[in-house]
Amino acid sequence: MISLVAAMTKERVIGIGNRLPWHMGSESKHYEDIVRGKTIIMGRRVYMATKRNGRLIGLHNIVLTRSGMYAKGVDVCHSLDEAISKGFEYGPDIYIIGGEGVFKDAISKADTMQLSFIKSDYPGDRFFPEFSESEWEEKSREDFPEFEYVVYVRKVARD
Ligand SMILES: NC(=O)c1ccc[n+]([C@@H]2O[C@H](COP(=O)([O-])OP(=O)(O)OC[C@H]3O[C@@H](n4cnc5c(N)ncnc54)[C@H](OP(=O)(O)O)[C@@H]3O)[C@@H](O)[C@H]2O)c1
């Protein structure tokens, strides 16, 4: 099962200046509870930022880059398909945590999306891709003071 995990505003903002636009302990904790100890795939910038913060959170951390980057303690892959194949070597569940281009490439491959919709507005320079709600079934929705957490499951195509 491939899951996308993201937090965004109503305008689909996910980042600004290579960081999150908000400081929201409650959402960070919620996010960490989802991905901690899992197999996660991330873009190179997300990796650099999480490493800087000392919070490489997956059990298996797979980093996407088109460069020859080497990094200790993570798997470096050069395409999303390669990263997904590597992820499935570790087990049946993969969590894809961004950023922008990674979400855009991965959304067509995802089985579920675990999305936090931040209630306040923030400016941004990175966005979650647009998606059609008709292709996704809302499986659950939970209300928190600062965000709503919605789990979507891809609808099986009907003939
Ligand atoms: N709110 C959220 O849920 C959320 C989640 C994640 C990130 N963010 C925000 O998003 C921003 C960072 O994301 P970003 O979009 O700038 O960068 P990113 O996705 O973390 O990293 C982009 C880099 O990843 C590599 N890459 C991406 N797709 C690839 C592919 N298909 N094959 C091979 N390599 C690939 C490339 O690395 P090279 O340049 O090394 O080739 C590319 O330059 C920050 O503002 C962060 O806070 C928010």
Task: For ligand 1, atom 13, name the residue with the nearest CA.
Answer: 99
The whole domain housing 17 covers 2-154
**Any domain includes 143:** yes
Beta-bridged to residue 92, according to DSSP, are none
pLDDT at position 12 over 60: yes
**Any domain includes 73:** yes
**Any domain includes 70:** yes
* pLDDT single digits (tens) 42-52: 999 999 998 87
Domains in the chain, number = 1
For 19, which DSSP code? B
With beta carbons less than 8 A apart as the criterion, state whether 132 and 19 touch. Answer: no
With beta carbons less than 8 A apart as the criterion, state whether 102 and 79 touch. Answer: no
**Any domain includes 159:** no
CA of 158 to the centre of ligand 1 (A): 34
Whether 97 is in the pocket of ligand 1, judged by its Cβ within 6 Å, is: yes
Helices (H), 62-133: 80-90, 100-106
Whether 15 is in the pocket of ligand 1, judged by its Cβ within 6 Å, is: yes
Whether 124 is in the pocket of ligand 1, judged by its Cβ within 6 Å, is: no
**Any domain includes 126:** yes
Quote the pLDDT of residue 143: 98
pLDDT at position 57 over 90: no
Q: What is the CATH number of the domain that holds 145?
A: 3.40.430.10
d(CA 111, CA 47): 23
d(CA 123, CA 126): 9
Across the chain, what does the average pLDDT equal? 95
**Any domain includes 67:** yes
**Any domain includes 101:** yes
Quote the pLDDT of residue 157: 57
d(CA 77, CA 65): 6
Q: Structure tokens of 13?
A: 């903002």
* pLDDT single digits (tens) 121-154: 999 999 999 999 899 999 999 999 999 999 999 9
| Band of residue 158 on the pLDDT scale cut at 50, 70, 90 | very low
